């Protein structure tokens, strides 16, 4: 394990000791989807649906116009908001995590990246991103009906104080960014 990973692990353990969180409840605030290469992917839908006062869900689907064969990278960055305006890029700052992930390699060994493992556990059973590379026969990539209540159960005990957060993601193939998807949420009761 590298020194950066040891430092991050130490920081996380220290934060967990400082902030005793028995239950974290999040509420999704928004999801944005953008295809930056319309020759490869298009956005079919990207939506946040309110189910009740305390329950909502996210669903999105990108139509694949070309197969994803190799060199698939995902960039994940967990952010926190500095001011009240939720979608202004300059109001967000990094919150502990930033990961560049070789997706095909990750699928072979899920244990080499904690943030990626957590994110993919959130969408487990809600996505067709569940097999190894290449993606040659898929007509779309989707994440459907992920509820805030499910995610809240899965992050139980993760040290996140009340506030506004975002998970910024970029998918790339052949070193070209193909999609940008951002998930906005609020921790309402640690």
Residues 41, 67: Cα–Cα separation, whole Å: 10
- Residue 100: both structure tokens together: 């560049």
Cβ pair 42, 24 in contact under 8 A: no
Residue 121's pLDDT is 84
How many C-beta atoms surround the C-beta of residue 92 within 10 A? 22
pLDDT of the residue at 1: 53
Split at pLDDT 50, 70, 90, the class of 47 is: very high
> What is the domain count for the chain?
1
Complete DSSP assignment for 6-29: HHHHHHHHHHHHHS--S---EEEE
Over residues 54-112, the pLDDT tens digits come to 999 999 999 999 887 778 899 989 899 866 555 555 688 888 778 898 888 888 776 66
pLDDT at site 20: 42
Kindly report the CATH number assigned to the domain that includes residue 91: 2.70.220
Residue 138 has φ and ψ, to the nearest 5°, of: -70, 140
Residue 118 · residue 155 · CB < 8 Å:
yes
Contacts of 90 (CB under 8 A, 6+ apart): none
What confidence score (pLDDT) does residue 14 get?
Answer: 45
Average pLDDT, the chain: 82
Its domain, for residue 69, covers 3-187
First to last CA, the chain: 30
Is the predicted pLDDT of residue 188 greater than 80, yes or no?
yes
Determine if the pTM surpasses 0.85.
no
pLDDT for the residue numbered 137: 84
Q: Is the pLDDT of residue 141 over 50?
A: yes
């Amino acid at each position: 394990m590298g020194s950066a990973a040891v430092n991050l692990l130490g920081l996380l353990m220290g934060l967990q000791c400082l902030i005793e969180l028995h239950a974290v409840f999040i509420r999704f605030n928004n999801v944005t989807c953008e295809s930056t290469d319309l020759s490869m992917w298009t956005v079919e839908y990207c939506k946040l649906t309110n189910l009740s006062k305390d329950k909502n869900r996210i669903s999105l689907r990108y139509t694949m116009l070309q197969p994803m064969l190799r060199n698939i990278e995902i960039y994940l960055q967990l952010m926190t908001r500095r001011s009240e305006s939720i979608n202004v890029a300059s109001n967000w700052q990094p919150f502990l995590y930033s990961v560049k992930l070789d997706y095909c390699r990750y699928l072979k060994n899920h244990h080499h990246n904690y943030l990626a493992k957590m994110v993919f556990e959130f969408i487990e059973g809600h996505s067709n991103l569940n097999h190894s590379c290449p993606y040659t026969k898929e007509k779309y990539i989707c994440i459907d009906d992920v509820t805030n209540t499910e995610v809240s159960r899965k992050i139980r005990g993760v040290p996140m104080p009340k506030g506004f957060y975002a998970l910024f993601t970029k998918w790339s193939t052949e070193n070209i960014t193909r999609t940008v998807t951002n998930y906005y949420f609020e921790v309402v009761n640690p």
